[in-house]
Structure 1
């Protein structure tokens, strides 16, 4: 009889053991973060951290107070998740070739028209095997040829009116916008809105380099090349110029003694480039056009006769690339396209309002969430770690697009997580998007611990005084320590 109280106490302890373990783990994550934040290389840094249990929603650890901080490219997670929710994983962009006028024998008495549909990936290097994209300009020329057309009396009109004419968000800096990662968004974008400048450099440092050619060849662009050769074995050349501007100034250095050194830059006028290429393809087929390439709005769209429609890959496939490779252009397209689908005109400002309102309606406290673009390239963007984890939690537990979203996040050592040690995160323990710019380094995603708990987390560092590589190693150590729980 005297043993019953002991047995009852033992049974009670066994029942409460999971609660004790859970509490200990919660304290452990917080303790790990608290100790980590004291690391000397972070003495001058602003730190944002938030982590929850993906299954229960329990808070595991957080920085206090929750600061609004520059997120860099992890802001793409807000944009891509919203695009999946508002447009759907299977959404496809469409680009149409049409004509307006009358066919008479082998003559089109009218205009040839490209009706842009905001496709961010048309001709993209990331979708080389996607059949509709293979030489899409040549395909259009073949379509015209098969119609028996030999003469076109009008112009080649490119209607890009799905988006507004401000292709660059207002707060992007001058150094970014001429380079490939700062490419502008157009209703008709193509080839990732990127071209490659091929340089040669002399054998001696400090001397003038030479531009050999560009791919693709750009119409009406004047280059002012001020790039010098250097002893440093890396690309330090920057291209300066605004969208639609025909002049490009190139400054900086490239390695000396190179016969072919490639530098990527942003195409100033993608619609004009595509139009020029189509004119050239038509000429090769001996189809003459009396007019010229014009970027304009078709006044009477009801008179259009569509002869070809190119559909993009599914939205989820484009988002896979966006988050895996951190493609700014694609994210900016999504932002404008959500606005276009909702209002009939794609603008960055309307897209931002839609994204913010969407998450507010889902219950996010959006105070301190300031979006200036969809990609995170603007330094005026701010978000808290808690807001980022709110989105991750919604996409994990409430969204029908949960699998598509989390599958878009790279695992070690792929995509933007190539610099992490795979041995530290076996069996795809970490799925996360990274973000970086000068004095900014951030990560957000999910981490599976050794105790089989899935942690949703966000970590943001701003204004650290250490090097980027030190910041990366420091954050990796934090994630390793949490993974070991």
Structure 2
């Protein structure tokens, strides 16, 4: 009892001391300073509540950085100086560097050349298709180039059809990509001459669509886009009753364009869509062009091969891609890895004359450093973020997003970021199904990132009272990913809901 009374007296004394100290602070500091201190504590408490309340982060790392978009001042940080894996948040660096190096007017060209003597409708010589990195070439673009050949009244090529991909080096995969990823759309090979199946522009892939067969027991119906014999499909699927399981698996033989589809699909179910990477994207593009030539009635007697365009060849047509700001939309919103690696090689080619990862990354890092980033603290191994060796801190990411605001290309940069809660794919992108019907919907513009044991989100949000906030949330080394994205969403939504969060700055 005596000890309890003493404890109560001590507690009472501590409370009185706290009140006296608070009154002292009120006298010493002005009201704005006290308000700022209160708001900072409030934010810290909320961030800690969100982080501590997630079992998924037990034993994991969380780097959180929150800045004022107006001043760049850090208003909250949690392990924000620790370098972590950024996953596709690395694309924020790649996009900024590409805008600096290549410029907003940059386009990729694909050129068509002929060499030899033309007699009537016969070309006694060769046709060259020269790629310069365009990651958006579609079947219709090859059709247009074939029509250009037809307009030259050529219907027979007594020579070879040659694909020229020498604009970049012959390294097809970024340094740290694992073998199992090479068949996946996100691990597709990179070439200066390539093709995409549709307007999501997953370059170097084909799109397989697997639909239920006509009745139970029959194989599924498989279609390919674009339709080409460059890829062989082995169909080992079976259609099962409506109540059956949908379980489709697609695998590609290593170093071969043989894709095997196995599993079951119920009657009347929605088709399964799978993008699968091809081996040798240059050969893929060349085959599609040859198919386009056949549509125009143009035949080739010689070989289909890869090589450099002859200096004696004459250019007869050029296809230009969309501009860089337009390309950034599918690149950033859909988190297209191949686009990132093409941009790295293109930076090296344009600025240093060498289309390689080594030269491109060197140029990108130097430009980012000139912008004001501390690149000594960053490990940049590729442009996409697929490498597990990439490292950057949350504070460095928010710093990049802050200094980007002074660039003339900022509107193109921000426009390319996914928008929370917007279903339209080329607006909402990878955030289209997140933070719906919250204060963050249509407000948060941020880049997502996901690789094994890594989930990231960095971008911009406006508070309820109109204050601009920059944030980065890097979550690493978790075992279960259930609930991980909820942590990011809760933080972003909380920021969007706040009023006068940065009142002390005014």
What TM-score do you get using the length of structure 1 for normalisation? 0.85
- Cα distance, 1:319 vs. partner? 0.3
Query: Secondary structure, in 3 states, of the residue corresponding to 1:423?
Result: coil
In the alignment, which residue of structure 2 is the partner of 1:117? 132
Q: Is the 8 A contact 2:193 2:282 kept in 1?
A: yes
Q: Is the 8 A contact 2:213 2:221 kept in 1?
A: no
Q: Is the 8 A contact 2:65 2:80 kept in 1?
A: no
How many Å separate the matches in 1 of 2:92 and 2:59? Answer: 27
- Cα distance, 1:225 vs. partner? 6.0
Q: Quick one: structure 1 residues 198 and 320, their matched pair in 2 at CA, closer, same or farther if it must change by over 3 Å?
A: closer
Question: In terms of mean alpha carbon deviation, does 187-196 or 333-342 score higher?
Answer: 187-196
How many Å separate the matches in 2 of 1:378 and 1:429? Answer: 30
Q: Quick one: structure 1 residues 432 and 254, their matched pair in 2 at CA, closer, same or farther if it must change by over 3 Å?
A: farther
In the alignment, which residue of structure 1 is the partner of 2:249? 237
Q: Quick one: structure 1 residues 62 and 151, their matched pair in 2 at CA, closer, same or farther if it must change by over 3 Å?
A: same
In the alignment, which residue of structure 1 is the partner of 2:66? 51
Query: Secondary structure, in 3 states, of the residue corresponding to 2:372?
Result: coil
Listed as ranges, the matches of 1:59-78 within 5 Å are 59-64=74-79, 66-78=81-93
Listed as ranges, the matches of 1:173-252 within 5 Å are 173-191=178-196, 192-199=203-210, 212-223=222-233, 237-242=249-254, 245-248=255-258, 250=260
In the alignment, which residue of structure 2 is the partner of 1:324? 333
Structure 2: state its 5+ residue gaps. 1-25, 197-202, 422-427, 499-506
Listed as ranges, the matches of 1:371-386 within 5 Å are 371-386=380-395
Q: Quick one: structure 1 residues 282 and 417, their matched pair in 2 at CA, closer, same or farther if it must change by over 3 Å?
A: closer
Question: In terms of mean alpha carbon deviation, does 255-264 or 338-347 score higher?
Answer: 255-264
How many Å separate the matches in 2 of 1:421 and 1:65? Answer: 24
How many Å separate the matches in 1 of 2:347 and 2:247? Answer: 36
- Cα distance, 1:100 vs. partner? 1.9
- Cα distance, 1:481 vs. partner? 2.1
In the alignment, which residue of structure 2 is the partner of 1:289? 300
Listed as ranges, the matches of 1:264-343 within 5 Å are 264-298=275-309, 300-301=310-311, 303-343=312-352
Q: Deviations over 1:9-44 (max 9, x none)?
A: xxx99x954444444434433333233322241222
Q: Is the 8 A contact 1:99 1:305 kept in 2?
A: yes
In the alignment, which residue of structure 2 is the partner of 1:94? 109
Select which of 485, 488, 491 maps to 1:478. Answer: 491
Q: Deviations over 1:151-203 (max 9, x none)?
A: 32221111111111122213112332212222211101211322123446689
Structure 1: state its 5+ residue gaps. 1-11, 124-133
Query: Secondary structure, in 3 states, of the residue corresponding to 1:110?
Result: strand
In the alignment, which residue of structure 1 is the partner of 2:10? none
1:435 is aligned to 2:440: no
Select which of 72, 85, 89 maps to 2:100. Answer: 85
In the alignment, which residue of structure 2 is the partner of 1:33? 47
Select which of 352, 355, 373 maps to 1:364. Answer: 373
In the alignment, which residue of structure 2 is the partner of 1:155? 160
- Cα distance, 1:337 vs. partner? 0.7
In the alignment, which residue of structure 2 is the partner of 1:255? 265
Q: What is the root-mean-square deviation in Å for CA atoms of aligned residues?
A: 2.9
